[in-house]
Structure 1
Amino acid sequence: MKNRGIFIKVFTYTIISILLLVGVTAALFSQQFRSFYKTTQTRQIIASYQPLVERIQRNNHSDIAEVAQRFYENNQSFEFIITDKDGGLIYATPNADTPDSFEGDFYYVVHNDENFSIVAQSMTGLESFYRDLIVRGVAVFAVMLALCLVCAFVFARQMTKPIKRLADSAGRMANLEEVPPPSERKDELGALARDVYFMYDKLKETISKLEDEILRERELEETQRYFFSAASHELKTPIAATSILLEGMLENVGDYKDHPKYLRECVKMMDAQSELISEILGIVSLSDRKIVPVPEKLDIRHTVADMMSDFQTLSEANGQRIVTDIPDGYTCLADPKMLQKALSNVILNAVQNTPKGGEIRIWSEPVAEHYRLCTLNTGTRIDDTVLPKLFDPFYRVDKARSRKNGRSGLGLTIVQKTLESMGVDFALENTPDGVLFWMDLPKA
């Protein structure tokens, strides 16, 4: 009943308005018909008795009764009386009432002069016409009433259908359900429906953004908790080891009496921790956008060649081979220090994770408006579920060997933050030949 409420109201108001209009129109026309009928009846009565008046006047008002009798014999449906100037009865038809005993329903003075008066007491043949006119009027009114009901129903339905649809859509919008776009109406209801749908679309977009923001905040909080937990673990172990060494030297216990040897060990561990802290601070600065990249035109081949000397000795010690294939003329726009920092961590990660005797390939190729710089360490593969985690701070695939290899677990995190700050797309993925890391550097 709730969904049909507005339809019933509109239908009721419409039918009442139309009925009032039809009623007033019928009343006005019935009054006009009644006046027309009376005028026509009067004219017909006068015209019907005019021959009697003329005959009486031609006979100089003599033998009025005889003239009236002959008139009645020819018009036996007429009932009338003739009186003199004093009201005395001159002639009366058999069924007519005298002036003293008149009880009929019709009394009309047809003619009246100083000599005689004719009073008609019966109506002419317009009664059937009048009855037919009334019947037809009632029939027309009934048809008009039926048409009014149909028109009111159609009008109310057409008026309330878009409103009901809009109300239904608004209810579904309130429950954040999917709502189809409104129809292309050109009137105010269409404009209202489009405005409501626009607000609903904006509301969904805002809610989606808020949900994404909440999810991002939760992920950020989770990442921060993990980062602080991992950082405290990474710093706690060497600090505890340094404390043990210092306490042993203070107590002159066993081998700890050789102070220079173990002091050098303490300094070495402190240098490692100082480097780790510097990396952490660098990641924080990149995350807070405190480091702003300053792009310059760089030759990719020369940039990579200048860095290879740092890794050539390490790769040769592992029996690895580094192969580069970067054509001349590949010039990109990038911050030189940030690019070298990211690239050095990528190459170091490749050297550390390529098996002994393996090959590391570095090449570049054009991709749309970029030069894609690729680094492939062959003979290795990483579980696809682990790949995204490699960019998390202090995450290591092989936790047992990580410290022995001098890995801090921040290399790929630094790469990620550096390239994101530079606005460079990158990815780490498995290929049939090994693990591939690529970055898209914008062409100069």
Structure 2
Amino acid sequence: MKLRTKYFLYTTVIITIVVTLAFAGLYLMMPKYYTNEKTKELNQFSKKVKEKIDGQEWNPTLEEELTTLSVKFSFSVELTNEKKEVFYASNAFKIQGNPQRFDLDERLVEDTTSGETTEYVVPVNQARGEADSFLETEQKITFKNAEVAYLHVYYSLQPIDDAKDVLFALYPWTLGIGMLIGGLGAFVYSWLSTRRIKTVIQMTEKMQEMRDAQLITVSGKDEINDLAQNINYLYTSLGNTIHKLDQENHQVSELERSKAEFMRSASHELKTPLTALNSVLEGMIHQVGPYKDYEKYLAVCQKIVFEQEALINQILQLSKIDSVTSEVVSETFMLQEIYEENFLVYEVLAKKDQKKIIHTIENFEIYGVKEDFIRIWNNIFSNALRYSDEQSTISIKTTANRLELFNQCQPLSETEASRVFEPFYRPDYARNRKDGGTGIGLYIVSQLAKRNGWQYNFKASPDKKGMVFSLEF
């Protein structure tokens, strides 16, 4: 069953129950309330009449005043003597039906037939056999001549019985009108309420399929609006999570591709020199041509072995970086401290190659893995020494959160500079030099910098006289 139908049925049932309970309460409580109120009025009227006639002389004037009061307040009054004989009666009860069933004197009965209903106006003392109930009070009074009389004040409860009959007759009509008006109201209310819910359902169906759905917008500040806002938040959070997962999947794919490419490059870098080594050794074993000179070619073989050892060590370092990423501990350390610990080594290496170091060091704090920074610094300084021109100058400068190293050399093109951080990439002039590196040092630098969140750059100097490596913390 749809929610709109439920709203309609529930509201209709509630209206029916409320109308029924209201009529039942009115039907049951009204007689008691009416009787209590009329009893109070009857006692007050009886007291007022007694005060007016007690101690007075009975005469036509007093009788007229008593009749006027009886008509004004709608009470029936009787005065009887000590023998219970009525000598005064004001007003009379109106009863419906045949007077014969009340054993009344027809000479005292007045026919007030109107339409289909016949009413008989009967004196009070003649109506005591009537089936309808009435209220009565009796008080003893004494006239001026010491004559004792009894004051009887009556009030018929037939009006409340008539009212109950009217209520009972009106109930079906009132219930029908109430259900009609309530049903229309329930239909409009259910339509307005479910319209917003239907909007939420339509939008969530689009969200289910992860289509480009707009966020849910509903009017009001009730629970439906809260539900829509929660769904919007959930959908936005889910979308962001999916986007992040897509990015991470892309990064993983790129990482796998990079690893595969790295392994191919590493295999090539290892295979070529090993092939050359094998050829030299075979020539020496078979004493072919110049390979008979064992001393010369053993030194060549040793050099090849040393180069491959260095390459393998760097590959092992790189694999270690990938495997212990979650185990490294970052800390805060001072740049000046690291520089002073290693400056003597840098200076000795520079003098050996007849190169000069100029440094302007501004001390500042660095947050990251201390061993990573030392490894980065050693790599870039080694590259600067290896690829600088002879008798050139290496400049080291630090400012707030930034380190720059300049070395005079043949500047690289933008394309070459962008590729030096790829594994095993070396510019052509570096490959031709006898002291060319393995092509993996700057790749290690890039991985360590990324792990610590440091920004790095490598580009030609503004005057095109060398290259500048910068590292921002």
TM-score bracket relative to the smaller structure: 0.5 to 0.7
> How does 1:83-102 map onto structure 2 within 5 Å?
none
Provide the C-alpha distance between the structure 1 equivalents of 2:280 and 2:432, rounded to a whole number of angstroms: 22
Select the residue among 171, 174, 181 that pairs with 2:208.
Answer: 174
**Cα displacement (A) at 1:18:** 2.6
Select the residue among 172, 179, 186 that pairs with 1:152.
Answer: 186
User: What is aligned with 1:71?
Assistant: none
CA contact (8 A) 2:112 2:118 kept: no
CA contact (8 A) 2:111 2:118 kept: no
Which one-letter code corresponds to 1:438 in the other structure? S
Question: Do structure 1's residue 438 and structure 2's residue 435 form an aligned pair?
Answer: no
User: What SS does the corresponding residue of 1:391 show, helix, strand or coil?
Assistant: coil
After superposition, give the CA deviation of every residue in 1:326-366 in whole Å (9 maximum; x if it has no partner).
Answer: 24655767777654432232133345556779764320001
Select the residue among 4, 11, 14 that pairs with 1:7.
Answer: 4
CA contact (8 A) 1:424 1:439 kept: no
CA RMSD of aligned residues (A): 5.9
User: What is aligned with 1:392?
Assistant: 422
Distance 1:296 1:216, change over 3 A: same
User: What is aligned with 1:223?
Assistant: 258
After superposition, give the CA deviation of every residue in 1:262-293 in whole Å (9 maximum; x if it has no partner).
Answer: 12211111111111111111111222228957
Provide the C-alpha distance between the structure 2 equivalents of 1:107 and 1:334, rounded to a whole number of angstroms: 111
**Cα displacement (A) at 1:392:** 2.7
CA contact (8 A) 2:280 2:301 kept: yes
Question: Do structure 1's residue 428 and structure 2's residue 457 form an aligned pair?
Answer: yes
> How does 1:115-264 map onto structure 2 within 5 Å?
148=182, 151-153=185-187, 155-157=189-191, 159-176=193-210, 177=212, 180=215, 188-189=223-224, 192-193=227-228, 195-264=230-299
**Cα displacement (A) at 1:27:** 8.4
User: What is aligned with 1:413?
Assistant: 443
Distance 1:88 1:282, change over 3 A: closer
Select the residue among 351, 368, 383 that pairs with 2:414.
Answer: 383
CA contact (8 A) 1:426 1:437 kept: no
**Cα displacement (A) at 1:393:** 1.7
Question: Do structure 1's residue 307 and structure 2's residue 346 form an aligned pair?
Answer: yes
Question: Do structure 1's residue 346 and structure 2's residue 377 form an aligned pair?
Answer: no
Provide the C-alpha distance between the structure 2 equivalents of 1:303 and 1:82, rounded to a whole number of angstroms: 134
Provide the C-alpha distance between the structure 1 equivalents of 2:112 and 2:234, rounded to a whole number of angstroms: 87
Provide the C-alpha distance between the structure 2 equivalents of 1:408 and 1:252, rounded to a whole number of angstroms: 31
CA contact (8 A) 2:421 2:443 kept: yes
Provide the C-alpha distance between the structure 1 equivalents of 2:125 and 2:340, rounded to a whole number of angstroms: 141
Distance 1:203 1:387, change over 3 A: farther
Provide the C-alpha distance between the structure 1 equivalents of 2:434 and 2:300, rounded to a whole number of angstroms: 15
Which one-letter code corresponds to 1:278 in the other structure? N
CA contact (8 A) 1:82 1:91 kept: no
Distance 1:439 1:348, change over 3 A: same
Segment of structure 1 superposing worse, 152-161 or 401-410: 152-161
**Cα displacement (A) at 1:323:** 5.3
CA contact (8 A) 2:404 2:469 kept: yes
CA contact (8 A) 1:7 1:156 kept: yes
User: What SS does the corresponding residue of 1:401 show, helix, strand or coil?
Assistant: helix
The number of equivalent residue pairs is: 389
CA contact (8 A) 1:249 1:257 kept: yes
Provide the C-alpha distance between the structure 2 equivalents of 1:344 and 1:87, rounded to a whole number of angstroms: 134
User: What is aligned with 2:117?
Assistant: 106
- Which structure 1 residue ranges, 5 or more long, are not aligned? 34-46, 48-79, 97-103, 116-132
Distance 1:201 1:333, change over 3 A: closer
TM-score, normalised to structure 2, is 0.60
Segment of structure 1 superposing worse, 158-167 or 251-260: 158-167
User: What is aligned with 2:14?
Assistant: 17
Provide the C-alpha distance between the structure 2 equivalents of 1:286 and 1:166, rounded to a whole number of angstroms: 50
CA contact (8 A) 2:403 2:471 kept: yes
After superposition, give the CA deviation of every residue in 1:199-242 in whole Å (9 maximum; x if it has no partner).
Answer: 44443444344333322322221122111111110010011111
User: What is aligned with 1:59?
Assistant: none
User: What is aligned with 2:132?
Assistant: none
User: What is aligned with 1:130?
Assistant: none
Distance 1:362 1:82, change over 3 A: closer
**Cα displacement (A) at 1:142:** 8.8
Which one-letter code corresponds to 1:265 in the other structure? V
User: What SS does the corresponding residue of 2:400 show, helix, strand or coil?
Assistant: strand
Distance 1:147 1:335, change over 3 A: closer
CA contact (8 A) 2:362 2:400 kept: no
Distance 1:22 1:352, change over 3 A: farther
CA contact (8 A) 1:81 1:92 kept: no
CA contact (8 A) 1:322 1:362 kept: no
CA contact (8 A) 1:299 1:330 kept: no
Provide the C-alpha distance between the structure 2 equivalents of 1:158 and 1:165, rounded to a whole number of angstroms: 11
Provide the C-alpha distance between the structure 2 equivalents of 1:396 and 1:365, rounded to a whole number of angstroms: 30
User: What is aligned with 2:55?
Assistant: none
Distance 1:164 1:432, change over 3 A: farther
CA contact (8 A) 2:350 2:357 kept: no
Distance 1:230 1:380, change over 3 A: same
After superposition, give the CA deviation of every residue in 1:392-429 in whole Å (9 maximum; x if it has no partner).
Answer: 321234388367542211111222344456x3613114
Provide the C-alpha distance between the structure 2 equivalents of 1:330 and 1:428, rounded to a whole number of angstroms: 20
Distance 1:15 1:382, change over 3 A: farther
- Identity level (%): 25
